[in-house]
Structure 1
Amino acid sequence: MPFVTIDGQPLHYIDQGTGPAVLLAGSYLWDQAMWAPQIAALSQQYRVIALDLWGHGESGPLPAGTASLDDVARQALALLDHLDIARVTLIGLSVGGMWGVRLALSAPQRLNGLVLMDTYVGVEPEPTRQYYFSLFKMIEETGVIAPQLLDIVVPIFFRPGIDPQSALYQDFRAKLAALPPQRLRESIVPMGRITFGRDDLLPRLGELDAASTLVICGDQDKPRPPSEAREMAELIGCECVLVPEAGHISNLENPGFVTGELLKFIAARNH
């Protein structure tokens, strides 16, 4: 299990395969295991790095002084430096895309390509932001994601028609229910506030290289709907692909489709 100490805390990542490097950056409340189908496929021809966000998976707590998604982007660059990776294709889903754009804007010379999945870099709509912040306050006060809160939070990540008895749904619910109070208060809640309190990067999307950027979104993504994906793709000037029969964690709801799109994109960036 490789770790690197960044800003005084252990960041956990996996590093599998050889070839041009691909960095997988996942969703809030999920660890690197969410990329299992993509890691298995991509690592056949590429060096695949997948990291655990602070307080998620095996990573240590959110480092003191981490105040914004720009800090998270800087920490990811420190990981690439540690691994001696000069250039990478960055695939960021949800918060991974939010800080991925910041990495792309601050260090464009480090990227071969950028895939923004089920994400949005505008500000969080105010009613949604206030709603999420009220949930964070409840979690902080109780030190647990209570069952009635799980009933609200878990469905957000999936397409409306998913079977709530499916392993994908139940495993995620069980993981959230098991999060210890200290981890919730020290890392998960602050990371949530950083994510949903982010500043607006829409005006800067035109600075990205359209030819090496792709936007992907589940066609039934509720928290980050296709309208947001299309808006970003238009501002960037790049293609927008909708994943059929998929919600927010589109890479797990329709893994075959997503993996196919990623393989095509990465091959074109690394020819």
Structure 2
Amino acid sequence: MPFVIVDGQPLHYIDQGSGPTVLLAGSYLWDQAMWAPQISALSQQYRVLALDLWGHGQSGKLPDSTTSLDDVARQALTLLDHLGIDQVTLVGLSVGGMWGVRLALLAPQRLNGLVLMDTYVGVEPEPTRQYYFSLLKQIEDSGEVAAHLLDIVVPIFFRPGIDPQSALYQDFRASLAALPAGRLRESIVPMGRMTFGRDDQLARLGELNSETTLVMCGDQDKPRPPSEAQEMAKLIGCPCVIVPEAGHISNLENPGFVTQTLLKFLAERN
């Protein structure tokens, strides 16, 4: 498994296929495996990178120097530098889109395309921020994602109609239940506070290249509703695609639709 040491910690990533490079940046509380359907399809024509957030998957703990999503964007650039990759198309879902926009603003010359999925770069609405912070405090205090918290957190990521006995739902629930106290306190909770306490980037969306940017959102995404996606697309001046029958992790709830949309977008970029 490939790693690169960034800010003193091992950053884990998948590197599969060959051709123009696509960087997949995933959701908080999910590792790179969330992109399995897209990695399988895209790597037939492209070089696909997918990284694990700090404290997620096989990456090391959140480096002490990491205090904001701007740092995460800088760390992703360090990975590209390490691999000698000049340009990528970045596909960022949820927090992946939040730091993906920061990478695009920091180093626009490194992107030939940007897809923002189920994400929002404005500030978290205050009631929601306080609510998420209270959940994080409970996790920090107990050192676990207890059963009553799993009942709250897991449904947030899926469309309301999902079968709670499905493998997708149950595997995610089990992954959260298995997180050890050290990882939760050192990485997961601080990363959550960084994500939900982020500063506002909406005013800078007009700096992005509208011709090489696409916004996507699950039609039933609860934490990041389509109205937010449409607001960002309007500010950027780019298309907005609504993914049918999908919640927050739209690429796994409707993988065929998302993969075909990405392939079409990539074909136009490369």
Class of the TM-score when normalised by the shorter of the 2 chains: over 0.9
Q: Secondary structure in 1 aligned to 2:24?
A: strand
- Aligned residue for 2:10, secondary structure, equals strand
Tell me which residue corresponds to 1:182.
Answer: 182
| TM-score, normalised via structure 2 length | 1.00
**CA shift digits 1:84-135 (9 cap, x unpaired):** 0000000000000000000000000000100000000000000000000000
C-alpha deviation, 1:62, in angstroms: 0.2
How does 1:117-136 map onto structure 2 within 5 Å? Answer: 117-136=117-136
Deviation by residue 1:217-244 (Cα, 9 ceiling, x = unmatched): 0000000000000000000000000000
- Aligned runs of 1:215-234 on 2, under 5 Å? 215-234=215-234
Q: Which amino acid aligns with 1:118?
A: D
C-alpha deviation, 1:157, in angstroms: 0.1
SS of equivalent to 1:217: strand
Paired amino acid for 2:94? S
* Matching residue of 2:72: 72
Residue matched to 1:52: 52
Distance 1:193 1:265 in 2: 33
**Aligned-pair CA distance for 1:197:** 0.3
**Letter of the 1:98 counterpart:** M
2:208 aligned with 1:208? yes
What secondary structure sits across from 2:29 in the alignment? coil
Q: CA deviation at 1:51?
A: 0.1
Structure 1 residue 4: Cα displacement: 0.3
Task: Give the letter for the 1:77 counterpart.
Answer: L
Q: How far did 1:65 drift?
A: 1.6
- For 1:266, the equivalent position in structure 2 comes to 266
Give 2:83's aligned residue: 83
2 CA distance for matches of 1:201 and 1:70?
A: 11
State the alpha-carbon separation in 1 of the partners of residues 174 and 124 from structure 2.
27
Aligned to 1:139: 139
- Distance in 2 (CA, whole Å) between partners of 1:84 and 1:195 is 28
Deviating beyond 4 angstroms after TM superposition, the runs of 4 or more aligned structure 1 residues are: none
Q: Any idea what the Cα deviations from partners look like across 1:1-42, whole Å, max 9, x if unmatched?
A: 000000000000000000000000000000000000000000
**Secondary structure of 1:23's match?**
strand
| Residue 52 of structure 1, CA deviation | 0.1
Deviations 1:207-226 (A, max 9, x none): 00000000000000000000
The whole-number CA distance in structure 2 between the counterparts of 1:94 and 1:101 is 11
Following TM superposition, by how much is the alpha carbon of 1:43 offset from its aligned partner in structure 2, in angstroms?
A: 0.1
Question: What is the distance in 1 between the residues matched to 2:138 and 2:156?
Answer: 18
Quote how far apart the aligned CAs of 1:154 are: 0.1
Identity %: 84
Task: Report the TM-score when normalising by structure 1.
Answer: 0.99
What is residue 153 of structure 1 aligned with on the other side? 153
CA distance in structure 2 between the aligned counterparts of 1:65 and 1:126, rounded to whole angstroms: 26
2:116 counterpart of 1:116? yes
SS in 2 for 1:36: helix
Q: Secondary structure at the match of 1:48?
A: strand
CA distance in 2, matches of 1:240, 1:262: 13
The alignment status of 1:235 with 2:235, answered yes or no, reads yes
How far apart are the structure 2 equivalents of 1:165 and 1:10? 35
Gapped regions of structure 1 (runs ≥ 5): none
1:168 maps to amino acid? L
Secondary structure of 2:90's counterpart equals strand
